[in-house]
Homo-oligomer: A and B are copies of this chain.
Amino acid sequence: MLGLGCETNKEWVERVAGNPSVLLVDHAHCEKKAALMAISLLNRYPEHTELVDEMSDLAIEEMSHFRMVLKKMEERDIALTFDPGDSYAQELHTQINKQEPKKFLDKLIVASLIEARSCERFQLLSERAEDVELREFYLSLLVSEARHRNTFLHLARLYFKEDVVKKRLDEFEAFEAKLVSALPSEAVMHG
């Protein structure tokens, strides 16, 4: 349904289900980076009115999620620490074409895939997290991530032809599937 080329392996779920401290800190940083990515897109392509509208709404929503994650952390006495970066997202970004307008399309596709993978992983967490109160939280978030994934695909299809979108989406889906299969199952969102 999410158009992902592979499922997250069981080792990751087992690793994170009982380890909320590391996951929550990393999750907060993911929400913050999603907001930054939305602002970066509207900053780079201000002439696309629908993109600007969607991305400003998205930035507000992602920062609201960041706030919600911070609250879950405070309730559990978990402190925010320095963001070490996200090698999964960085790897996806290396595949973005350097030339416009391909660069624009690739950015939208990469964003849609990151949202889709987050959605899939929140689904797993909503079923398997040992902290029952967090299951509810992840369930509420997975609905948002699925919506965001659709927003990025809608924008891609608004600004590019369907066959061009489909070809590039297939290529990125294959790359993302390989990337995810090779992840070391660390206790972070994209581990």
Chain A: residues with CB nearer than 8 A to chain B? 32, 35-36, 39, 42-43, 46-47, 49, 52-53, 56-57, 59-60, 63-64, 66-67, 70, 74, 79-83
Contacts and interface: CB of A to CB of B under 8 A. Distances in A.
15 contacts: A32-B43, A35-B59, A36-B39, A46-B83, A47-B80, A47-B81, A49-B74, A49-B80, A52-B70, A52-B80, A53-B70, A59-B59, A60-B60, A60-B64, A60-B67
A107 to B, nearest CB: 17
A79 B184 CA distance: 46
A83 to B, nearest CB: 6
B46 A57 contact: no
- Taking chain A's interface residues, is the majority helix, strand, or loop, or is none over half, making it mixed? helix
Contacts of A32: 39, 42-43
Contacts of A70: 52-53, 56
Given A35-B39, A36-B39, A57 B47 contact: no
A73 B103 CA distance: 28
A83 B35 contact: no
A79 B48 CA distance: 9
Contacts of A35: 39, 59
Contacts of A82: 46
Given A79-B47, A79-B49, A63 B56 contact: yes
A82 B45 CA distance: 8
